[in-house]
Chain A
Amino acid sequence: MIVLRRLLSSAVSIFILVTLVFFMAHLTPGGPAFSILGQKATPQSVAALNARLGLNTPLLAQYGIWWWHLLQGRLGYSYLLNRPVGALLWSYEVNTLVFYAVAISLSTVLAILLGLAQGVWHGRAPAKLIGAFQLGFYATPPFFTAAILVLVFAVGLHWLPASGIGNPRLAHPGLGSFAAHLVLPVVTVMLLTVPMLSRYFGEAVHEELGKDYVRTARAKGVGFTAILFRHVLRNALRPLVTMLGLSFPYIFTGGVIVESVFNYPGLGWLLWRSALSQDYPVLIAIVLLIGLLTVLGNLLADLVNGLLDPRANYE
C-alpha cells in the first residue's frame, strides 16, 4: 500500500518535472533559433527556422506534442552532432552510472566508518579530528580539490592520469587503465560527500548510543561491539539512507564539475559541453534524465528504509 502511494507520488513528481522543464525551455528569452543562427540571425531567418522546428505553433500544442514524443522515447536530434539524442545519451549515461556507483558506495562505507568512530568517541580527540576534516572539506569547492589532486598526483608525481577514461595511445586501454582514470575523480567526489554523510551519521550514532535500549542491552551483559554493530548501526543507518537519497542533487552538482575537470565523458560532462554549444535538445534531455534519476533515487531510498525498519511503512 505504502509502496503504491510512493510510486504514485513519484509519478506526480515526474509529471511536474517534465512540465517544468518544458516551460523553462520555452519561456526563457533567447531560444534555439538564435543560438543556431548565431551572429547571422535576422528576424526572417529566425522565423523560418522556428517554423521548421515547430516552434511557431501555440505553446499548449507544443506542450502536447512534447509529451507525445517523450512517451515514444523521441527526444529529438542533437543540433551539434545531428544524432538522435536518446542514442547519444546512452553511452554517457553508462559512464556516469559506473562513476557514481563506485563513488557513492566507497563514500558510504567510509562515511559509516568515520561516523561510527565519531559517535563512539564523541567529544574526544579522534572525534574532534574528524570534525575538523568534515568542516574543512565541506567548504572546499570540488574544482579546487580536483585541481590540487591533479597538481600533486598527476602533474607532480605522475602517479595517475589527469583526464579522460582510457589511455589514448592504446587501441584497447582495458579495465586497468579505466580504473586508473577513475581514481582522482572518485576521490574528489568522496572528499565532497564523505564529510557531509559522516557528520550526519556520526550524530545519529551518538544519539542512538544514548538511548534506553543500549543501556538495557549493556545491563544484560551484551558486549559493546555487539550492541554497536547489531543494534545501533542498523538504527542509525535509516536516516543515513534518507540523507543519501536527499543529497543526490548535491552529489550530482559536484559530479558535473568533477566530470568537467577530468574530462570524464558522463552526463555532467555532456551537459557542460552542450551548454557551451547551446545544443538544446541534448540539454533538455539531460536535465530530464537527471531529474528522473533523482526522483528514482529518492524512491529507492524510501523503499530501502522500509526494509531496514518496517515501522517506516506506517508513518
Chain B
Amino acid sequence: MNRGRGGLTAGVSLGAAVLALGFIGPLLYRADPYAIHPAHALQGPSLAFPLGTDELGRDGLALLLSGGQATLEVALPAALLAFATGLAYGLLAGLGPGWLDKILMRLLDVVLALPSLVVLIFFAAIVPLNNTSLVLLLGFIAWPGLARLVRNEVIAQRGRDFILAAQQSGAGVFYLARVHLLRVIAPVLVVNATFLVGDTIFALSALSFLGLGVQPPQVSWGSLMQSALDIIALAPWWLILPPGLLIFASLLAASLTGQGLLRRGRGR
C-alpha cells in the first residue's frame, strides 16, 4: 500500500517535470533550435552548448526542448481524442442492442489483432503528414483497448440493482450513461487515460523515429533519436541519451501514475 503511494508520487512528479520541460523549457532557454553553427558542429557538451551540438552545429538543448514541445503538442491531444473515441465506442457497445455489441466487439478483436504500429505506418504512408493529421491518426489508432474495457465495465454494471432501478423508473440510455455509469467507471477511466498518454507518446516517438511522424524542419524526440542514430558510428552519446531518456521518463511516468492509481483504487 505504502509502496503504491510512493510509485504514484514518483509518477506524478516525473510527469509534471516532463510537462514543464516541454512547455516551460522553451520559454526559459531561448536559443534558436534551427540556428546553425558550422564551426561548432558535432561537439560534446560545453558551457556554450550545455547538451552539445548536432552534425549541423545546431544547439542540442534547444533542439531537445523544441522536440519535447512538438512531441507533447501532438501526443496529448491525440490521447484526448483516443479517450473520447474509445469511451463512445465502449458505451455504444455496452448499452446498445445485443447484435450491435456482437458486431462492434468482433470488429474490435480484429483491430486489436493488428500491431498498432503497423496500422499507423500504413496510414502514415497514405495521408499527408502534418501535426493535425498526426493527432487524428494517433487518436484513431490508440482507442481500441479502452473501448473494450469500457464495454466490459458497462456490461458488468448493467445488471446491478441501481441501474435496474433507474431503468424501471424510466431512465433513458443517455441519462443512465451520464448520471450512473460514468460515475461508477470513472476510476477505471482515469487509470486508462493515463496509460493512453503513455501509448500516444510512444507511438508518436516510434513513428517520428521511422521518419513518418513529425516532419522536418520541426523536430521531435523520436526524430532526434533517428538523426543521432544515423551518425552513431561517431558515437554522439550527447545526442542519443537526452531524447531517449525523456521518452523513457514520459513512459515511466505514465506507467507509474496509472499503476499507482489502480492500486489505490483497489485498496479502497
Contacts and interface: CB of A to CB of B under 8 A. Distances in A.
B113 A13 contact: yes
A294 B119 CA distance: 13
B122 A287 contact: yes
Contacts of B245: 144
Contacts of B209: 143, 257
Contact of A256 (B117, B125, B126, B202): B117
Contacts of A162: 232-233
Given A16-B110, A253-B117, A30 B206 contact: no
Contacts of B123: 24, 28
Interface stretch (A47-55, A179-187, A269-277): A269-277
A233 interface: no
A294 to B, nearest CB: 5
B114 A276 contact: no
Interface in A271-315: 271-272, 274-276, 278, 280, 283-284, 286-287, 290-291, 294-295, 298
A243 B252 CA distance: 22
Chain B interface residue number, banded: 35 or more
A294 B206 contact: no
Query: Per DSSP, are chain A's interface residues mostly helix, strand or loop, or mixed?
Result: helix
Interface in A222-255: 248-250, 252-253
Contacts of A135: 252, 255-256
Given A24-B123, A260-B210, A275-B125, A287 B248 contact: no
A121 B87 CA distance: 40
A275 B121 contact: yes
B106 A12 contact: yes
Given A147-B225, A156-B235, A257 B117 contact: yes
Given A253-B118, A283-B122, A139 B127 contact: no
21 contacts: A20-B110, A30-B127, A135-B256, A139-B251, A139-B255, A140-B248, A141-B202, A143-B222, A147-B229, A151-B232, A151-B235, A151-B237, A249-B114, A256-B118, A257-B117, A257-B209, A274-B125, A275-B125, A287-B114, A291-B114, A294-B113
Interface of A: 12-13, 16-17, 20, 24-25, 28-31, 135-136, 138-141, 143-144, 147-148, 150-151, 155-156, 162, 248-250, 252-253, 256-257, 260-261, 271-272, 274-276, 278, 280, 283-284, 286-287, 290-291, 294-295, 298
Given A25-B122, A260-B210, 10 more contacts: A17-B113, A28-B126, A139-B251, A143-B225, A143-B244, A147-B244, A148-B240, A148-B244, A271-B118, A275-B210
